[in-house]
Chains A and B, each alone.
Chain A
């Protein structure tokens, strides 16, 4: 176990201590005890920056399940480090923010920080594991801790609904990802990502390639809230705002993006990879930004905005894969998509994190997040307003913020798609820049709504529960740091490129050499005109919002994906209930019919499909006339039971059958059997009579009602038994072992009655437990007759 492993599991170790600290130090906000850990981890991970940018990735191995090839291998390369820095860095800020956001007296802080630490550790494990099974374990732990955090206020119904929904969707995707991991293992014989990448040419030609690709992508799409699995993210906004800022904007939803980036060297050679990721990404981008404009809740706007931006990063990663196919003129345009993806990943984490915190502050200070009740907060909350402006303008892609740069790069990547003459991108590729541009217009609109509907306009104090004022300084520190980063990266975009972005890119696309240089000003080119177009059209649309907003009313709610999810869930519940009610009707007869029908169907089908039916009369003994007489008697007696009207008659007929069976035993040279059968039949019949003598004769006895189903089933059972008996007797595979008993009964066991010697000597154990059965039955009978519960008859 190395220091790196310790760093990954340190949040779990601290999580164990949290309840103790919470109990011991009631007066101190528990968050202060948590805060140093992500800070220390952040500093620790920063120390890797120079190492990963110059040399090979750092790999530390720790044996977990050696026999299955599962090792807890921690690996730090550019991509893992980027995510680790995001997780710990934003983690620190979020914890600081939560200290001021969550009340010490009203909230259950111990559970909150335990869940948050679980999540942090799990997320670090996801991005730093080289072993896919370990990655999967941490992956599910993120789903699980996210579930706990969304349901933090578990007494609210909406929290529980959101938590359940996110759990169902992400665990569905996670399981599918596990399937993909297992398929990869079948193809390569290893769970190690590095070794799988080394064998990517073996995988590419393997028939399981496409299934593995689809399974892995399903996991990534559900986690990263891609269309149509994005529906869980808006409902996850029921979580406390620090959680939304941390999990549902900066870290967990990027786990799917991490997975796609991580698996790119394995799958990116295939056209399906490009089309699925780019296609679903661009649809998500559009749908997220389109839906965000409709929302009236600030966090819902941000949730759809996150969906949309994740779609953008995803589509860039997909298009980046095209670079692998195109050894053409200028590599710049083909790798720019991946560069833009990584750059926007960082930018999005900064501005979205700060925006969530801003919204949290507004919620905290006014008591509502509904933009219809908010307005005119500019004078009251100037710092928050400034932060909101920075975040939103960056989100809208305006200069001089970092969002502008990544949006320009995004446009560059999109407009150059048509240059790729692979996978028909030259014809259908034109759709990408068009959709991207329209989506950017919507992005602009909702970013403006976010700022101006909240902070400008008429102040409506009568609609607010509290008297709003500026937030405490502690709550503002984290968004100020993030907003500063937005500006710093905006003005100095290259501070991160050599040390962070380039190593991350070479992890995603190991074949390429990257020299990232992001220029702040790149002349009057197509991208700039596109941004100007976005601003102009976006401003016009924002100002006329009231006029065209009605088009959202045209969209039928019934077709919404949430309805589909709700109905699907309800259908699954009701469907299984109906199905269970259908066959589990509580009637013994029905169950017996199922059992007998299966018995008939399976045995007869096996009998005939295996050609096992055979009649061979060679070993059969002859039939005497008195035996026919015996058979006739027993047939008449047993058939008569079916038609007997009174219970007494049927019991006597059963006795007749039993005595005839005893005669059969006599005929078949089985004296002991005959004796036992006679005695037992006598006792049985008297028991029957005894029982029914005591029964009240209150209703008229009647014949059995005839049922065709019963007749068919019973004839089937009889026929199958007969056929099997005939076939079994006709096929003697080997000789009986009874010759041994015949020879040794007297010499070894000193007895002449073979049956008795077998019962008490050769196979005495059977007899012992048969005695036990009799004892239990008699005790049972005694108990049933004697024991009465109090109050029973």
Chain B
């Protein structure tokens, strides 16, 4: 399962990178979201999947899945959500002010 997950994570990274390299701001944000999914799954996979029951003591199992990666991912998800929301609003504002979501047209400033 880990091998399959590794390939899937690689695919996520590839798709995310491709989206980030495009011109449209929306697609860049989509790309970062996909990459963050990849990262979350990567953390989980590296901790080993399906090694036991869910990390809840009430289940009375002998082995449990590693709880640390899950705690890390939970933190990462929330932070990722915060930044995504911020970037979304930022790009929305940029679109409103500049009138484009094409990053190639956002180049340069008066100082140059």
Do A729 and B40 form a contact, CB below 8 Å, given A722-B9, A741-B67, A773-B79?
A: no
B107 in contact with A586 (CB, 8 Å): yes
A383 interfacial by beta-carbon distance below 8 Å = no
Is the pair B70, A755 in contact by a Cβ cutoff of 8 Å?
Answer: yes
Task: Kindly identify, within residues 746 to 793 of chain A, every residue whose CB is under 8 Å from any CB belonging to chain B.
Answer: 746, 752-755, 758-759, 763, 766-767, 770, 773-774, 776-778, 780-781, 784-785, 792-793
By the criterion CB–CB under 8 Å, are B78 and A676 in contact? yes
Chain A proximity mask over B50-75: 1 for CB below 8 Å, otherwise 0: 11111111100000111110110111
Is there an interface contact between B93 and A784, defined as CB atoms closer than 8 Å?
A: yes
Check if A721 sits within 8 Å of B13, measured CB to CB.
Answer: yes
Q: Which of the residues B26, B54, B66 comes within 8 Å of A692, measured between beta carbons?
A: B26
- Of the listed stretches A17-25, A265-273, A344-352, A638-646, chain B binds A638-646
Contact check, B75 vs A752: say whether CB atoms are below 8 A apart. Answer: no
Q: Which residues of A contact B18 (CB under 8 A)?
A: 642, 710-711, 714
B70 adjacent to A647 (CB under 8 Å): no
Contact status B14-A759, CB under 8 Å: no
A262 to B10, CA, bound (A): 66
Closest Cβ of chain B: how far from A642's Cβ, in Å?
6
Q: How many residues of B contact A (CB 8 A)?
A: 84
Distance in angstroms between the alpha carbons of A793 and B93 in the assembled complex? 10
Give A106 to B107 CA distance when docked, in angstroms: 51
Closest to A622 in B: B1
A773 surroundings in chain B (CB, below 8 A): 78-79, 82-83
Of the residues B3, B54, B86, contact of A780 by C-beta under 8 Å: B86
A539 at the interface (CB under 8 A from B): no
Are A793 and B96 within 8 A (Cβ)? yes
Nearest chain B CB to A726's CB is how many angstroms away?
5
A781 contacts which of B14, B19, B89, B103 (Cβ < 8 Å)?
A: B89
Chain B residue with Cβ nearest A596: B17
- Judge if A627 is at the interface, Cβ distance under 8 Å: yes
B19 touching A642 by the CB < 8 A rule? yes
Looking at chain A's contact residues, is the secondary structure mostly helix, strand, loop, or mixed? helix
Q: Say yes or no: is A670 at the interface (Cβ < 8 Å to chain B).
A: yes
Q: Which residues of A contact B24 (CB under 8 A)?
A: 704
Chain B residues closer than 8 Å to A714, beta-carbon distance: 13-18, 21
Could you tell me the distance between the alpha carbons of A189 and B79 in the complex, rounded to whole angstroms?
54
A121 CB to nearest chain B CB (Å): 42
Contact B96 A593 (CB under 8 A): no
| Residues of chain A from 718 to 751 with CB closer than 8 A to chain B in the complex | 718-719, 721-723, 725-726, 728-729, 736-738, 741-742, 745-746
Q: What residues on A are CB-neighbors of B93 within 8 Å?
A: 784-785
Residue of A nearest to B82 (CB): A777
* B22 (CB) vs chain A CBs: closest residue: A704
Nearest CB of B to A269, in Å: 58
- Scan A616-649; emit 1 where CB is below 8 A from any B CB, else 0: 0101111100011001001100110110000100
* CB-defined contacts of A726 to chain B, threshold 8 Å: 2-3, 6
With a cutoff of 8 Å between Cβ atoms, the chain A residues found around residue B95 in the complex are: 695
Contact: A738 with B66, CB < 8 Å? yes
Contact bitstring B76-103, A, C-beta under 8 A = 1, else 0: 0111011111101111110111000101
A754–B86 touching, CB < 8 Å: no
Stretch at the interface among A208-216, A482-490, A682-690: A682-690
Q: Chain B residues near A767 (CB, 8 Å)?
A: 75
Known: A592-B21, A622-B1, A668-B50. A721 touches B83 (CB 8 A): no
Closest B residue to A685 by beta carbon equals: B33
Contacting residue for A673 out of B45, B70, B88, CB 8 A: B70
- A680 lies within 8 A of B42 (CB): no
Residues of A within 8 A of B10 (CB): 718-719, 721-723, 725
A742→B59 CA distance, assembly (Å): 12
State which of A670, A692, A715, A754 has its C-beta within 8 Å of the C-beta of B57. A754
Which listed residue, B17, B54, B68, touches A736 by the CB 8 Å rule? B68
Stretch from A77-85, A218-226, A657-665 at the B interface: A657-665
**A587-B104, A710-B22, A725-B6 known; A718 vs B75 contact (CB < 8 Å):** no
Are B77 and A677 closer than 8 Å at their CB atoms? yes
Do B45 and A729 have beta carbons less than 8 Å apart? Answer: yes
Contact yes or no, B34 A657, CB < 8 A: yes
Which B residues touch A722, using CB under 8 A?
Answer: 6-7, 9-10, 13
Alpha-carbon distance between A705 and B102 when the two chains are bound, in angstroms: 13
A176 CA to B42 CA, complexed, in Å: 51
With A592-B21, A684-B81, A704-B22 known to touch, is A755 a contact of B14 (CB < 8 Å)? no
Query: How distant is the Cα of A635 from the Cα of B5 in the complex, in angstroms?
Result: 11
CA–CA, A758 to B55, complex, Å?
Answer: 11
| Given known A-B contacts A621-B2, A725-B9, A781-B86, A586 and B108 have beta carbons under 8 A apart | yes
**Which residue of A has the minimal Cβ distance to B51?**
A621
- Flag if A673 contacts B50 (CB, 8 Å): no
CA gap between A99 and B18 in the complex, in Å? 75
> Are the CB atoms of B88 and A687 closer together than 8 Å?
yes
Q: Is the CB of B17 within 8 A of A717?
A: yes
When the two chains form their complex, are residues A668 and B21 in contact, meaning their CB atoms are under 8 A apart?
A: no
The answer on a CB contact under 8 Å between B85 and A687 is yes
Say yes or no for A522: interface residue by CB 8 A criterion: no
Shortest A37–chain B CB gap in Å is 49
Q: Quick one: which of B4, B15, B22, B66 contacts A623, CB cutoff 8 A?
A: B4
Q: How far is the CB of A315 from chain B (nearest CB, A)?
A: 53
Find chain B residues with CB under 8 A from A691 CB: 88-89, 91-92
Report whether A631 and B4 are in contact in the complex, using a CB–CB cutoff of 8 Å.
yes
CB <8 Å contact, B55 and A754: yes
Chain B proximity of A534: nearest CB distance (Å): 62
- B68 contacts A738, C-beta separation under 8 Å: yes
Asked whether any CB of chain B lies closer than 8 Å to the CB of A7, the reply is: no
Say whether A537 faces chain B, with CB atoms less than 8 Å apart.
Answer: no
In the complex, chain A residues whose CB is within 8 Å of the CB of B67: 738, 741-742, 754-755, 758
Given contacts A669-B52, A755-B70, contact A635 B57 (CB under 8 A): no
Query: Inside 8 A of B68's CB, which chain A residues have their CB?
Result: 736-738, 741, 758
Q: A670 touches which one: B2, B6, B54 (CB < 8 A)?
A: B54
Report how far A770 CA is from B8 CA in the complex, Å.
Answer: 28
**In the bound complex, how far is the Cα of B12 from the Cα of A723, in angstroms?**
14
Residues in chain B near residue A664, CB distance under 8 A? 41, 44
CA–CA, A483 to B88, complex, Å?
Answer: 84
Residues of A within 8 A of B4 (CB): 623, 627-628, 631
Whether B75 pairs with A759 at a CB distance below 8 angstroms is yes
Chain B residues near A684 (CB-CB < 8 A)? 33, 81, 84-85
Give complex CA distance A707, B21 in Å: 9
Contact, CB under 8 Å: B45 / A669: no
Docked-complex contact B57 and A736, CB < 8 angstroms: no
Q: Which residue of B lies closest to A760 (CB)?
A: B71
The 10 closest A-B pairs by CB, nearest first: A718-B14, A722-B10, A777-B82, A714-B17, A754-B67, A714-B18, A754-B55, A725-B6, A586-B107, A752-B57
> In the complex, given contacts A596-B21, A661-B40, A665-B44, what are 6 additional A-B residue pairs having Cβ atoms less than 8 angstroms apart?
A589-B103, A641-B30, A657-B34, A688-B88, A695-B101, A710-B18
A-B contact pairs, 18 of them (CB 8 A): A586-B107, A587-B104, A592-B20, A635-B11, A638-B34, A668-B49, A669-B55, A670-B44, A687-B84, A714-B18, A718-B10, A718-B15, A753-B55, A754-B67, A755-B74, A770-B78, A774-B78, A781-B89
